[in-house]
């Protein structure tokens, strides 16, 4: 093609006018000059603001209409103000980060600088002050954090789940916390943190935790584990049966193991169970029909197949459900709950990938305290700061302290957060050092 760039510009103009599919992409290969058109599904595209003559087409009037719900996102796409580009077409564009970066050469501008980060990474406060490796670590740690994973967890039978007591909205938050409605499914807690050494017990990645904080419920959670028994059907008319096994059943346990079962062979709610306790009584026919030859016709040929508590686990019966599966087989589901208190070896982390495990639990009387008498919940080693270079963690500490003093949330949105210098000056106005350190 003699003038590939001119042809590409015509395609883009027709697409913005609505004559061509809005999700179609066009790219001119820099080496060969070929024009590539893509309309297939499955391509990753992202929205960008169209720029002409160094000015974005998205104006304050558009934003006002959006706030009043007089205009929708799709309307902006149809008007050619916003367009979705894939990685191939982006090779022919020059994208500005913010409006202050715009020049005549720019073709597009980011909708918001926050959009270049993923959902979990956007939750990291002051993320633009950290190196990328720490952002990845912080993003993964937030996915693993305990919290409220679902609002209807009490009626769900999810395998091996934890629900944190008193999950909280962080004092230092970003716009993504609001956009994602983080308050409806929070994770983690706000804690008083001291960055200092303590007799060598918090060397490497170890952290020290205040025993009084644990006694008051810090990071306490409930663990849920469901167990299922199904009455299967076998050839020859043989079936499983949920019941209290008879003593002549092969593999019969002691009467102590069945002590919590009711007449139907199912444990009752709120029963406290320990390891090896039977929670669903069940008997089954022999694994192989040839096994029936070992017994006389008068003997009980069934075997014990009850569901019991795993080794090393304990808890209370939280929920019992009787139902059927798609094949019409009767199913019994029992959910066990167990309250868990943090102990030595448990992992804690900040949103910046500053992870560690509990190395020592110290009574409050032995914990360091400030002039005002405040003792920390957690003592974290200062050696983790220079090695991991999490500057945002230090800024968050200052912001969290100021937010607790002023009773407000601190905006830590990446690239658009409150000025750290302003935070430090405000801290000084409250009678504290600008660095947040105390004696």
**Phi, psi at 53, each rounded to 5°:** 55, 35
Nearest residue to 279 via CA among 299, 255, 308, 302: 308
Evaluate whether 334 touches 308 at the Cβ level (below 8 Å): no
Other beta carbons less than 10 A from residue 30's beta carbon? 9
Degrees (nearest 5) of the Cα angle 157, 159, 163? 85
Q: Tell the burial category of 365 from Cβ atoms under 10 Å away from its Cβ (0-12, 13-18, 19+).
A: exposed
Token pair listed for 171 = 């004092």
Tell me the three-class secondary structure of the chain, residue by residue: CCCHHHHHHHHHHHHHHCCCCCCCEEEECCCCCCEEEECCCCCCEEEEEEEECCEECCCHHHHHHHHCCCCCHHHHHHCCCEEEEEHHHHCCCCEECCHHHCCCCCCEEECCHHHHCCHHHHCCCCHHHCCHHHHHHHHHHHHHCCECCCCCHHHCCCCCEEEECCCCCCCEECHHHHHCCHHHCCECCCCCEEECCCCCCCCCCEEEEEHHHHHCCCCCEEEEEEEEEECCECHHHCECEECCCCCCCECCCCHHHHCCECCCCEECCCCEECCCCEEECEEECCCCHHHHHHCCCCCCCCEECCEECCCCCCEEEEEEEEEECCCCCEEEEEEEEEEECCCCCCEEECCCCCEEEEEEEECHHHCCCCCCCCCCCEEECCCHHHHHCCHHHHHHHHHHHHHHHHCCCEECCCCCCCCHHHHHHHHHHCCCCCCCCCC
Other beta carbons less than 10 A from residue 431's beta carbon? 7
Reply yes or no on whether 175 is catalytic. Answer: no
Q: Among 205, 338, 411, 416, which one carries the catalytic annotation?
A: 205
Task: Write down the residue that tokens 């959009």 correspond to.
Answer: 115
**Which residues are identified as catalytic?**
205
């Amino acid at each position: 093609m003699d003038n590939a760039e001119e042809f590409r510009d015509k395609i883009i103009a027709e697409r913005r006018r609505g004559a061509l599919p809005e999700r179609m992409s066009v790219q001119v290969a820099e080496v060969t000059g070929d024009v590539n058109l893509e309309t297939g599904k499955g391509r990753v595209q992202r929205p960008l603001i169209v720029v002409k003559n160094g000015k974005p087409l998205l104006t304050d009037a558009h934003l006002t209409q959006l706030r009043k719900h007089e205009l929708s996102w799709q309307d902006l796409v149809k008007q050619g103000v916003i367009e979705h580009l894939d990685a191939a077409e982006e090779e022919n564009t020059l994208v500005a980060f913010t409006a202050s970066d715009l020049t005549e050469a720019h073709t597009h501008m980011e909708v918001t600088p926050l959009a270049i980060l993923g959902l979990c990474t956007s939750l990291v406060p002051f993320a633009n002050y950290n190196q990328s490796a720490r952002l990845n670590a912080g993003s993964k740690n937030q996915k693993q954090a305990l919290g409220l994973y679902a609002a209807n967890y009490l009626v769900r039978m999810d395998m091996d789940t934890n629900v944190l007591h008193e999950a909280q909205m962080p004092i230092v938050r970003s716009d993504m916390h609001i956009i994602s409605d983080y308050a409806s499914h929070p994770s983690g807690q706000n804690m008083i943190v001291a960055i200092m050494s303590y007799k060598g017990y918090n060397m490497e990645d170890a952290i020290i935790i205040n025993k009084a904080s644990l006694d008051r419920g810090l990071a306490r959670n409930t663990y849920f584990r469901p167990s299922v028994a199904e009455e299967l059907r076998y050839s020859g008319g043989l079936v499983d049966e949920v019941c209290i096994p008879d003593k002549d059943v092969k593999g019969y346990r002691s009467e102590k193991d069945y002590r919590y079962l009711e007449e139907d062979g199912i444990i009752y709610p709120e029963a406290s169970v320990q390891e090896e306790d039977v929670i669903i009584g069940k008997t089954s026919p022999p694994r192989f029909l040839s096994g029936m030859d070992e017994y006389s016709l008068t003997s009980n040929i069934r075997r014990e197949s009850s569901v019991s508590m795993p080794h090393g686990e304990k808890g209370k019966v939280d929920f019992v459900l009787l139902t059927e599966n798609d094949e019409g087989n009767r199913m019994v589901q029992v959910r066990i709950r167990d309250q868990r208190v943090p102990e030595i070896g448990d992992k804690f982390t900040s949103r910046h990938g500053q992870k560690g495990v509990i190395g020592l639990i110290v009574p409050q009387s032995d914990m360091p305290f400030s002039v005002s008498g405040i003792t920390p919940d957690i003592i974290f080693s200062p050696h983790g700061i220079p090695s991991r270079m999490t500057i945002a963690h230090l800024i968050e500490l200052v912001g969290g302290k100021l937010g607790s003093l002023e009773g407000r949330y601190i905006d830590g949105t990446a690239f658009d957060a409150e000025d750290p210098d302003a935070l430090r000056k405000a801290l000084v106005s409250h009678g504290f050092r600008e660095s947040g350190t105390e004696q």
